[in-house]
Every structure is written in C-alpha cells, then in structure tokens.
C-alpha cells in the first residue's frame, strides 16, 4: 500500500469510528431491550415462560431505573465499535468480499462486558445488587473470577453472528445501493442510502438472530457458587433453549434487533457517506 493510500485508510477508519459512535449512541436503548428479551425465559421450566415484548421490557427499565437505565453498558459498546466497525467497513471496501474473523476476536471482550452490564439491570429489578459498577470493574472482576480466557466466553457464537451480520449487512447494503442507483430509482443520495440500509438491516437480522441469542446467553452466564454453569458450549445452549422455550426462542428480540439495525444502519451509513464526501472520498 502506498503512503497516500495508507493515510487515506486511516482517515476512513477515523470517519467510520465517529459514524459508529453516533449510530451506537442513538440506537443503544433498542439494543438493551433486545438483550433483555433474549435473556427472558432463561432458567425457567417448560411452560412457565411469561410472555412479554419490547415495549413492556423498555417500560419496566425506565420505571425502575429511570431513562438513563436504557444506556446501561453504553461505554463498552462504544469501545467495541472503535475496534470492530472501522476495520470491517474499511476492510470490506478494500476486499469487497467476506471479512476475516480476527477482527471480532479482538472486539469480543468488549461485547462480553456490554452484555453482562446490560443483563445486570435484571438483577436490580429483582432487588439484587448488580455484579459490576462500570466497564473497567467488569473487566477486572471477570479476569479475577474466570481468568483471561473468560473475556472470550461466547466468542464462537459471536464470530458466527459477526459473519452472518456482515454477510447480510455489508454485502446487502453494497448490492442494494448499487441496484437502486443502477435502476435509477434514486441518485447516490440519502434516499438510496435509506433504502439500502432498510434492506441490509432486515437481511442481517433474519440471518444472525439465532446466533445472537446463543451469543448473548453464553456471554451472560457465569459459574455458580457450586462451580456449575448453565451451558457447556454453544450447541448445548442452542439445544436447551429450543427444548425449554421452543424453536421461536431463537428469534427472541427479532423486532427490537431489526428496529435497532435499521436505524443503526441508517444513522451510520448516512453519517459515514456524508463524512466521506466532506473529506473528499468517493461514495462507499
């Protein structure tokens, strides 16, 4: 890579980081609601799962913890995207093909902390003390109680989810935007970006939701005082979830996930495309 190209790549990474932080902050309450829905019914016997929905979950969070409760775990979520999103976006642009999984391996500990902190709200609602007071407290306690390897708990379903999300998100956005422009449905502007982001959000959600449910549950589990864990591995988690809660449980949080991915994609892509234009880069 030439020095000028290298400098350009760094600038694109910076622009992608800023766009990802804007998108993550805007849509984080929906992500929190989705995580709580995915954990709903866990550890409950067959036939005892009470029905709920995203609106009820979000209302309960605001009632018990106030509006700021919807942003529990935002800092590790932003930290994750500082590593994950810029590299996959800029990498995809260069390769225009499937991304390598090493990027998700680096970002997985931040995702683990985000899931744990989001799940802590359930403990507060049950009158229990939260496990972690903040991002760094969570990292410290996880390493002390579970070892360094504990930071990568759930990494395999996380990698699987990342592959499916990237396949549905980046490839679909790329193809949908070019389809819209090529067929003169719209010029390369905010309308084309909106249509493409809606399609990519839907396809990414449909493909990745089962892996996302397994990832969330694997990351949230910790050993009991007796040294036991709920799931031995991703497959065990998948089987137990379906056995106790039914096949539909694998798509728990589908609507909040799509409701988040759609706006997230819209905010990210519109911001990123605009920042690229201001910086003098061509359209993605």
Note whether 125 and 78 are same-domain residues.
no
In a domain, 257, yes or no: no
Note whether 94 and 128 are same-domain residues.
no
Note whether 83 and 170 are same-domain residues.
no
Biggest CA pair distance of the chain: 63
pTM over 0.75? The answer is no
At residue 183, φ and ψ (nearest 5 deg) are: -90, 10
In a domain, 158, yes or no: yes
Q: Which residue has the tokens 């759930």?
A: 154
Note whether 18 and 83 are same-domain residues.
yes
Note whether 41 and 85 are same-domain residues.
yes
At residue 276, φ and ψ (nearest 5 deg) are: -65, -40
Note whether 90 and 124 are same-domain residues.
no
Note whether 188 and 167 are same-domain residues.
yes
Note whether 89 and 172 are same-domain residues.
no
Question: What is the spatial distance between Cα 164 and Cα 176, in angstroms, rounded to a whole number?
Answer: 17
Cβ atoms of 130 and 123 closer than 8 Å: yes
In a domain, 119, yes or no: yes
| 131: containing domain | 102-149
Note whether 134 and 164 are same-domain residues.
no
pLDDT tens, N- to C-terminus, the chain (284 residues): 444 555 677 888 889 999 999 999 998 998 888 888 877 766 555 455 566 777 888 888 898 888 988 898 898 888 888 878 888 888 777 765 444 455 566 667 877 888 888 777 767 666 777 788 778 888 888 888 888 877 777 777 777 777 777 777 788 888 889 899 999 898 888 888 888 888 888 888 888 888 888 888 888 776 666 667 888 888 898 899 898 888 888 888 788 778 777 788 888 888 998 898 898 888 88
Note whether 225 and 163 are same-domain residues.
yes
Domain count, the chain: 3
Cβ atoms of 134 and 75 closer than 8 Å: yes
Note whether 120 and 192 are same-domain residues.
no
Q: How far is CA 256 from CA 85, 196, 210, 252, in A?
A: 20, 19, 14, 9
Note whether 121 and 64 are same-domain residues.
no
């Amino acid at each position: 890579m030439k020095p000028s190209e290298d400098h350009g790549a760094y600038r694109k990474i910076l622009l992608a980081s800023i766009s990802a932080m804007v998108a993550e902050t805007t849509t984080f309450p929906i992500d929190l609601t989705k995580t709580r829905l995915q954990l709903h019914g866990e550890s409950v016997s067959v036939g005892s799962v009470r029905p709920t929905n995203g609106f009820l979950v979000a209302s309960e969070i605001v009632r018990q913890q106030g509006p700021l409760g919807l942003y529990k775990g935002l800092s590790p979520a932003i930290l994750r995207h500082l590593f994950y999103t810029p590299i996959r976006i800029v990498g995809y642009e260069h390769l225009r093909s499937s991304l390598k999984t090493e990027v998700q391996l680096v970002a997985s500990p931040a995702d683990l902390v985000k899931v744990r902190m989001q799940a802590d709200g359930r403990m507060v609602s049950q009158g229990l003390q939260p496990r972690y007071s903040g991002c760094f407290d969570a990292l410290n306690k996880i390493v002390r109680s579970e070892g360094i390897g504990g930071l990568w708990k759930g990494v395999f379903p996380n990698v699987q989810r990342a592959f499916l999300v990237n396949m549905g998100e980046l490839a679909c956005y790329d193809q949908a935007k070019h389809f819209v422009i090529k067929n003169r449905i719209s010029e390369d502007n905010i309308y084309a970006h909106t249509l493409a982001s809606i399609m990519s959000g839907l396809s990414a959600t449909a493909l990745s939701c089962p892996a996302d449910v397994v990832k969330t549950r694997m990351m949230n589990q910790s050993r009991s005082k007796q040294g036991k864990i709920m799931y031995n591995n991703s497959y065990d988690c998948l089987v137990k979830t379906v056995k106790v809660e039914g096949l539909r449980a694998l798509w728990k949080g589908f609507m909040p996930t799509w409701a988040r991915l759609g706006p997230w994609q819209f905010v990210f892509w519109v911001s990123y495309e605009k920042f690229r234009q201001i910086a003098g880069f061509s359209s993605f």
